[in-house]
C-alpha cells in the first residue's frame, strides 16, 4: 500500500492575494481526483490571502494552513492573529517555529511551545519546524540544537485523543537557494528525533501521533529521495511551490 504523503506549501511573504488565489485555483483544477487520495496538499499563504485561498480551494481536498499563530486566543495583542481566528477561516494547519520567524521575529523555544499548545487546543495541527543554523552544524552542535528545540517544543504537550503533530526537520543551511540536506543527513536527524519522541512519550507515539517531514530546497528532482526513508512522510516546500511550473512536476512525482 502506498504511504500517505503530506506536501506543505509555505508561500512565505511572496505572493499577492490575487497571485495566491490564482495559484490555489490552478492547483485545485489540476487532477483534483488525485490530490487527497494518498497525497495531502496544504497551502500556507500569508494571513492576508487566507480568505481568497480558502475560497479558491472550496470543494476540493486541498487544505488550508497558516504560517504562524499567537499563543493567546484573544486580547490586547496588536498585530497578532489567534488560532481561533484562523480556525474561523477554515485553517487546519499552522506552521510553528519556522527558522525565519526565529531569526527575524523573536520566535524562541518557549513561544514555540506555547503556540503548539494553543494550536492543539483549537483542534488544529501544528507543523513544528526544527533545524540548526549553518554555524551550529559547523561547530558540530546540530544534535544539541535539535534536542533543545524539540524537548522544549514538546514540554507538557498533550497528545491524547485525535491530536497529532507534524515535526519538520528543516536545517537553516538547506533552505533555498542553498543545496538541500542529503537523505543521509535527514535520516540521521530523523532517528534522533524519533528517539527523543520515544523518550518523552514512550513507544508507539512517534508512529501514531507524529508526521515527520523534511524541509529545505525540496523540488521535483529530489522529493522522492527524501520520501524513500520510511519515517519521512512529506515535505515543507517553499520556493518550488510558488509557481505551477515548479510545483506541478513535484506533485506529479508523488501521484503517478
Ligand atoms: P525552500 O523553503 O523550499 O525554498 O527551501 C522551505 C521553507 O523555508 O519552509
For residue 158, report the phi and psi dihedrals to the nearest 5 degrees.
Answer: -85, 120
* Mean of the per-residue pLDDT values of the chain: 95
User: What pLDDT does 31 receive?
Assistant: 72
User: What pLDDT does 36 receive?
Assistant: 63
Is 238 near ligand 1, meaning CB less than 6 Å away? yes
DSSP string for 144-206: HHHHHHHHHHTTT----TT--EEEEE--GGGSTTSPPPPHHHHHHHHHHHHHHHHHHH-TTHH
**Alpha carbon of 161 to ligand 1 centroid (Å):** 31
CB 168 within 8 A of CB 214: yes
Give the separation between CA 36 and CA 129, rounded to whole angstroms.
Answer: 24
Three cell numbers written together for 208:
501514531
* Residues spanned by the domain of 147: 5-255
pLDDT digits (tens, 9 = 90+) for 52-66: 999 999 999 999 999
Contacts of 199 (CB under 8 A, 6+ apart): none
User: What pLDDT does 2 receive?
Assistant: 72
Q: What is the mean pLDDT of residues 233-247?
A: 98
Helices (H), the chain: 17-29, 50-56, 83-88, 99-104, 109-121, 134-138, 142-153, 183-201, 205-209, 223-227, 244-255
User: What pLDDT does 3 receive?
Assistant: 85
Flag whether pLDDT at 35 surpasses 80: no
Confidence band, pLDDT 50/70/90 cuts, at residue 34: low
pLDDT digits (tens, 9 = 90+) for 87-138: 999 999 999 999 999 999 999 999 999 999 999 999 999 999 999 999 999 9
Is 239 near ligand 1, meaning CB less than 6 Å away? yes
**% of the chain at pLDDT higher than 90:** 94
CB 63 within 8 A of CB 42: yes
Contacts of 149 (CB under 8 A, 6+ apart): 97, 109, 112, 130, 131
- Distances in Å between the Cα of 159 and the Cα atoms of 79, 98, 117, 240 are 29, 21, 10, 32
Flag whether pLDDT at 1 surpasses 60: no
Q: What is the CATH number of the domain that holds 9?
A: 3.20.20.70
- C-alpha 127: how far from chain center: 4
Inter-axis angle of helices 183-201 and 142-153, nearest 10? 40
Three cell numbers written together for 256:
503517478
Residue of 216, 222, 235, 250 with the most ligand 1 atoms within 8 Å of its CB, for mutation: 216
Q: Name the domain count of the chain.
A: 1
User: What pLDDT does 229 receive?
Assistant: 95
Is 24 near ligand 1, meaning CB less than 6 Å away? no
Place of cell 531569526: 103
Is 218 near ligand 1, meaning CB less than 6 Å away? yes
pLDDT digits (tens, 9 = 90+) for 147-176: 999 999 999 999 999 999 999 999 999 999
**Alpha carbon of 43 to ligand 1 centroid (Å):** 13
User: What pLDDT does 183 receive?
Assistant: 96
Amino acid at each position: 500500500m502506498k504511504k500517505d504523503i503530506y506536501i506543505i506549501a509555505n508561500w512565505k511573504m511572496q505572493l499577492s492575494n490575487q497571485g495566491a488565489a490564482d495559484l490555489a485555483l490552478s492547483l485545485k483544477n489540476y487532477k483534483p481526483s488525485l490530490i487527497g487520495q494518498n497525497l495531502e496538499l496544504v497551502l500556507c499563504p500569508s494571513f492576508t490571502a487566507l480568505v481568497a485561498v480558502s475560497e479558491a480551494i472550496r470543494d476540493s481536498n486541498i487544505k488550508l494552513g497558516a504560517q504562524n499563530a499567537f499563543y493567546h486566543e484573544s486580547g490586547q495583542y496588536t498585530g497578532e492573529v489567534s488560532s481561533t481566528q484562523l480556525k474561523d477561516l477554515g485553517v487546519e494547519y499552522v506552521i510553528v517555529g519556522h527558522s525565519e520567524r526565529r531569526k527575524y521575529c523573536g520566535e524562541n523555544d518557549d513561544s514555540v511551545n506555547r503556540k503548539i499548545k494553543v494550536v492543539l487546543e483549537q483542534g488544529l495541527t501544528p507543523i513544528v519546524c526544527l533545524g540548526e543554523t549553518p554555524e551550529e552544524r559547523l561547530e558540530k552542535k546540530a544534535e544539541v540544537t535539535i534536542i533543545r528545540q524539540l524537548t522544549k517544543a514538546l514540554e507538557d504537550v498533550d497528545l491524547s485523543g485525535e491530536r497529532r503533530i507534524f515535526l519538520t526537520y528543516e536545517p537553516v543551511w538547506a533552505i533555498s537557494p542553498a543545496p538541500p540536506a542529503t537523505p543521509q543527513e535527514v535520516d540521521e536527524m530523523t532517528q534522533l528525533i524519533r528517539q527523543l519522541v520515544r523518550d518523552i512519550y514512550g513507544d508507539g507515539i512517534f508512529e501514531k501521533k507524529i508526521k515527520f517531514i523534511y524541509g529545505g530546497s525540496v523540488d521535483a528532482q529530489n522529493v522522492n529521495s527524501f520520501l524513500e526513508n520510511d519515517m519521512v512522510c512529506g515535505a515543507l516546500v517553499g520556493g518550488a511551490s510558488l509557481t505551477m511550473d515548479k510545483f506541478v512536476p513535484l506533485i506529479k512525482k508523488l501521484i503517478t
